[in-house]
Amino acid sequence: MRKPIIVGNWKMNKNNAETKAFFEAVDAVAASENATYGIGCPFTDLRTAQDNAKNLIVAAENCHWEDSGAFTGEVSVPMLEEIGIKYCIIGHSERRQMFGDTDETVNKKAKRLLKAGITPILCIGETEAQYDAGETEKVIRDQLTGSLADLCAKCVGSMVIAYEPIWAIGTGKSATKEDAQKCCAIVRDQVKVMYGEEAAENVRVQYGGSVKPENIVEYMACPDIDGALIGGASLKEASFIDIIEKTK
């Protein structure tokens, strides 16, 4: 039985004072036996978030695969481990499109995180042009083939995979629940093809792209959607609380 997981992704938003205020307002509401709630935040906010989180899980938004060295501006997995981080978003489309992340580097990040016992939240999803060209399934399968290469089945079963169609991110143009379900089922099937039935049964698949209080319930009712990765609607305390209360 998969436990739902709903994670906010703040991207490059919020300072320390705002992080503290958010966690003070939201953390108690996030206490739940039935689902896991969390926030992905900028590196500079991670410690403040950890210090103010009893119920919310805290996720980094990226990491490097090497442990240390001449990688200006990067943060390693041992650095995240040291402050108790248990989840890390990797391969977000904004990183793939603007900062050169590829399936190959995302795969290296996944390997290093899993070695440290940190759960990767692996993001994949097609562009609008690929959607229009009917290439969505191929893109999903190809990205997973590269990003999940050479891992162990148990590791993959422990991961979270966020299917985020790029055309739905920050646009208000969310996927229909039928399309989101279909694509999350493809994600699960590709995990089955690569790592077998048990990994596919255990891996948690999120939908992301203009998720908000008004549509979260319909996504969560879909059999292959185990949660959501939420950008804009995770920035305001009231809307994230609303999402938690509708899914607890």
Ligand X SMILES: O=C[C@H](O)COP(=O)(O)O
CB of 212 to ligand X, least distance (A): 7
Strand ranges in 66-185 using DSSP code E only, listed in sequence order: 87-90, 119-124, 160-163
41 in Cβ contact with 14 (< 8 Å): yes
| Binding segment (CB under 6 A) for ligand X, from list 14-22, 62-70, 127-135, 204-212 | 204-212
Binding mask 80-99 for ligand X (x = CB under 6 A): ------------x-------
The overall longest dimension of the chain from CA atoms, in Å, is 46
169 in Cβ contact with 209 (< 8 Å): yes
SS3 87: strand
CB of 7 to ligand X, least distance (A): 8
97 in Cβ contact with 63 (< 8 Å): no
Q: Which is nearer to ligand X, 84 or 170 (CB)?
A: 170
Q: Is 239 in the site for ligand X (CB under 6 A)?
A: no
Q: Is 243 in the site for ligand X (CB under 6 A)?
A: no
9 in Cβ contact with 233 (< 8 Å): no
- Is 231 annotated in a binding site? The answer is yes
Q: Is 114 in the site for ligand X (CB under 6 A)?
A: no
- Binding ligand X by CB under 6 A: which of 4, 38, 157, 208? 208
- Is 13 annotated in a binding site? The answer is no
CB of 211 to ligand X, least distance (A): 5
How far apart (Å, rounded) are the C-alpha atoms in residues 122 and 247? 22
Q: Is 165 in the site for ligand X (CB under 6 A)?
A: no
Q: Tell me the catalytic residues.
A: 92, 164
Q: Is 164 in the site for ligand X (CB under 6 A)?
A: yes
Residue number of the CB closest to ligand X reads 231
174 in Cβ contact with 210 (< 8 Å): yes
